[in-house]
Amino acid sequence: MLSPFKEERRKLVDNLVREGYVRSKGVMRALLKVPREEFVLPKYRKYAYLDMPLPILSGQTISAPHMCAIMCEELRLREGLEVLEVGTGSGYHAALCAEIVAPEGGGGHVYSIEYFNELAAFSKENLRRAGYEDRVTVINGDGSSLLPFRRGFDRILVTAAAPKIPSKLVEHLNPGGRMIIPIGGGLVQILTLVIKDESGKVRVEERGGCCFVKLKGLEGFMYEDY
Ligand code: SAM
C-alpha cells in the first residue's frame, strides 16, 4: 500500500500535469520524488500536498508546487547543470532542482543562498533528512548582490521579488544560461526570464503574473518599509 503522502503527492502531480504546469519528464519525476512533507513545518504536514504556499520561519513561505514547476520548466534544467538559487527558504525548490541536475548524486549541483540564519539552518536540516545534503549547498547571506562566488552558473532561480533585475546575478549567469526572477514591488509581480546567449548578449522575456515575498538585501527592497 502507498503511504498517504505518496498517494497525495501523485495526485498533486497528476493535477499539475493536467493543468499544464508540468511539461517535462524531468520536472514530473522530481515532483514525484521530493517529499514536500519534509520541508514544511510539522504543524502543516497535513497540508503539504495542497497546491499553495505555506508559512515557514522568519515570516517567509515555501512556494506553491505549481510555481516551483513553472520556474523549473522555464529554466530548462537538465542533468549536469550548476544552479544558483537565491532564497532557500525550506530547501524544497532546491531539492527539486537537485533531483533534475544531479539525479543519481553526480553531475550537477545546486548552490542556494538564504538571507535569514534560522532559515538557512531549517533548510539544511530538511535537506539532510530528505537525502539532498550532498547535492545542495546552503549558504547564509545576501544573494541579491553579495555573492561569495568567483564563477558563474548555468541557471539562476530567484524565489523572492526584486525591484529590478540584480546586475550581480546577470554577471554570474554563464553564456547560454537562463535566470528566472519575479520583478516588481506590488502584490502581483512579473515572472521574468533572463536569457544570456553564447556570445553573452542578454534578452529579457516576461512570463506573466506571480506573487512572491520581497527580496531583501542591497539589490532588494532593503530601504523600503515592508
Ligand atoms: N525557495 C523556497 C522554498 O523552496 O521553500 C521558498 C522561498 S521564499 C518564497 C523566499 C525566500 O527568499 C525566503 O526564505 C527569504 O528569506 C529569502 N530571501 C529574501 N531576500 C533574500 C536575499 N537577499 N538573499 C537570500 N535570500 C533571500
> Of 24, 58, 63, 144, which one is the catalytic site residue?
63
The widest CA-to-CA distance across the chain, in whole angstroms, is: 53
Find out whether the beta carbon of 122 lies less than 6 Å from any atom of ligand 1. Answer: no
Strand-pair partners of 55: 61
Rounded to two decimals, what is the model's pTM? Answer: 0.96
pLDDT of residue 212: 96
Find out whether the beta carbon of 189 lies less than 6 Å from any atom of ligand 1. Answer: no
Cell triple for 32: 514525484
Residues 172-176, mean pLDDT to the nearest whole number: 97
Which atom of ligand 1 is closest in space to residue 58's alpha carbon?
16
Q: pLDDT by residue (tens digit) across 33-68?
A: 999 999 999 999 999 999 999 999 999 999 999 999
Active site residue 63: yes
Q: pLDDT by residue (tens digit) across 67-115?
A: 999 999 999 999 999 999 999 999 999 999 999 999 976 789 999 999 9
Find out whether the beta carbon of 159 lies less than 6 Å from any atom of ligand 1. Answer: yes
Buried b / exposed e over 111-148, threshold 16 CB at 10 Å, is: bbbbbbeebbebbbebbeebebbebbebebbbbbbebe
